[in-house]
Chain A
């Protein structure tokens, strides 16, 4: 599984980094981050790119999500 760490990155870098890995054809991606905004943006991107989103950690200051191609 590919891992992307978007902790502390300002807009829109979390989305760019995740999309880069998606464009390389990754079927399963683990994304970790810190802000609620990046969580919303990355999961929105994932849905639009046909990935299933599973939140594995969903705390106020850090989150982790597993993206898998449907």
Chain B
């Protein structure tokens, strides 16, 4: 194994361990990190949806994007770029969130759930592999959303990181515009949104993981994609590292509870766990990266990836306002319909965007 493979394996181990520590310090169970859940919480904190139990400005997300931005600037890789079917990517972000909230987690949380002994996450993982494989099918047939162009100004690449920095400012300052109704930020008083590690630690964890993910190019859909496509296991090692890092600390902390039933923030509808991450897998593969990778790319100045992140936040608001999101009780009928619609739309996009 060469140096860069050791580096991504160790980075993965660190990320998995950090995730378990965040749970120990107050984050919801098996949710040290979850890009989808945390973006959903941010959508709630901004008042874009009214699900009172999932509203919080997650400092981990802010840390991830700012960590990736600072690291890429330091490495000379920060560059504003975009223009590769930006609106299509926005809607793909919306559907990626729908898939994630049907399952209740992004691919990163899927790994963390597996490391916590949640067998439902294994079912979803099979769906994820199938989704990535479907995406690879289209990639092999010449799927392409078009070329991105480097911008002559870096301002565009700074906008989303600055927006998140502004949210951090509001969070730390605790500004209240409307004492009766709340706002500008809304916070859960109960439920997952009320469970959080201390702000400083969450932010530091995000910054550190942002740095690691930027340097290693960590991507959960990419790990499976590269293995299917060219039998390259580089990114997969990061995936395995996260699993082992979280598993070891879950065992130490006594968080490891194997089984299907009674898993934290999870449901046991196998078909929807499978199809939820199937939708995330195919979408992430067509986009070129999983939700985590989209966030890291946004920090590097990729405005197309930033459109995906904004799409995911808007998608989360739609999920809760339209009653699409799953809960411990299962997936509502509208969520099931939206998930199938999402898969059909991805197959349509995958087929339509092939080049001769």
Binding site for B on A (CB under 8 A): 7-13, 15-16, 19, 34-37, 40, 44-45, 48, 60-61
Q: Which residues of B contact A35 (CB under 8 A)?
A: 79
Size class of the contact patch on chain B: 20 to 34
Given A10-B287, A60-B76, 20 new contacts (CB under 8 A): A8-B147, A8-B148, A9-B148, A10-B145, A10-B288, A10-B304, A11-B289, A12-B226, A12-B230, A12-B288, A15-B230, A16-B139, A16-B229, A19-B230, A36-B75, A44-B232, A45-B232, A48-B230, A60-B79, A61-B79
Is the Cβ of B147 less than 8 Å from the Cβ of A7? Answer: yes
Q: Which residues of B contact A9 (CB under 8 A)?
A: 144, 147-148
Which parts of B56-108 form the interface with A (CB within 8 Å)?
75-77, 79, 81, 83-84
6 interchain pairs, CB-CB under 8 A? A12-B222, A12-B229, A16-B139, A40-B217, A60-B77, A61-B79
What total of A-B pairs shows CB separation below 8 Å? 56
Task: Give the complex CA separation of A9 and B288 in angstroms.
Answer: 9
Task: Give the complex CA separation of A60 and B301 in angstroms.
Answer: 14
Task: Give the complex CA separation of A19 and B229 in angstroms.
Answer: 10
B352 at the A interface (CB under 8 A): no
Is the Cβ of A13 less than 8 Å from the Cβ of B144? Answer: yes
Is the Cβ of B147 less than 8 Å from the Cβ of A11? Answer: no
A34 is contacted by which of B150, B217, B226, B287 (Cβ under 8 Å)? B150
Is the Cβ of A45 less than 8 Å from the Cβ of B147? Answer: no
B140 at the A interface (CB under 8 A): yes
Binding site for A on B (CB under 8 A): 75-77, 79, 81, 83-84, 139-140, 144-145, 147-150, 217, 219, 222, 225-226, 229-230, 232, 234, 287-289, 304
B221: nearest chain-A partner, CB-CB: A11
Is the Cβ of B139 less than 8 Å from the Cβ of A13? Answer: yes
Task: Give the complex CA separation of A7 and B83 in angstroms.
Answer: 13
Max count, chain B CB within 10 A of own CB: residue among A9, A12, A13: A12
Q: Which residues of B contact A48 (CB under 8 A)?
A: 230, 232
Task: Give the complex CA separation of A11 and B234 in angstroms.
Answer: 14
Is the Cβ of A8 less than 8 Å from the Cβ of B84? Answer: yes
A10 is contacted by which of B75, B77, B148 (Cβ under 8 Å)? B148
Q: Which residues of A contact B79 (CB under 8 A)?
A: 35, 60-61
Max count, chain A CB within 10 A of own CB: residue among B83, B149, B230, B288: B230
Task: Give the complex CA separation of A22 and B69 in angstroms.
Answer: 35
B83: nearest chain-A partner, CB-CB: A8
Q: Which residues of A contact B287 (CB under 8 A)?
A: 10
B302: nearest chain-A partner, CB-CB: A10
B217 to chain A, nearest CB (A): 6
| Among all A-B residue pairs, the 6 with the closest Cβ atoms | A8-B147, A10-B288, A8-B148, A11-B288, A60-B76, A36-B77
Given contacts A8-B149, A16-B140, contact A45 B230 (CB under 8 A): yes
B226: nearest chain-A partner, CB-CB: A12
Task: Give the complex CA separation of A48 and B219 in angstroms.
Answer: 21
Q: Which residues of A contact B147 (CB under 8 A)?
A: 7-9
A15: nearest chain-B partner, CB-CB: B230
Is the Cβ of A11 less than 8 Å from the Cβ of B150? Answer: no
Task: Give the complex CA separation of A15 and B83 in angstroms.
Answer: 21
Task: Give the complex CA separation of A15 and B304 in angstroms.
Answer: 20
Max count, chain B CB within 10 A of own CB: residue among A8, A9, A44: A8
Is the Cβ of A10 less than 8 Å from the Cβ of B219? Answer: no
B234: nearest chain-A partner, CB-CB: A44
Q: Which residues of A contact B150 (CB under 8 A)?
A: 8, 34, 61
B225 is contacted by which of A12, A44, A60, A61 (Cβ under 8 Å)? A12
A26 to chain B, nearest CB (A): 17
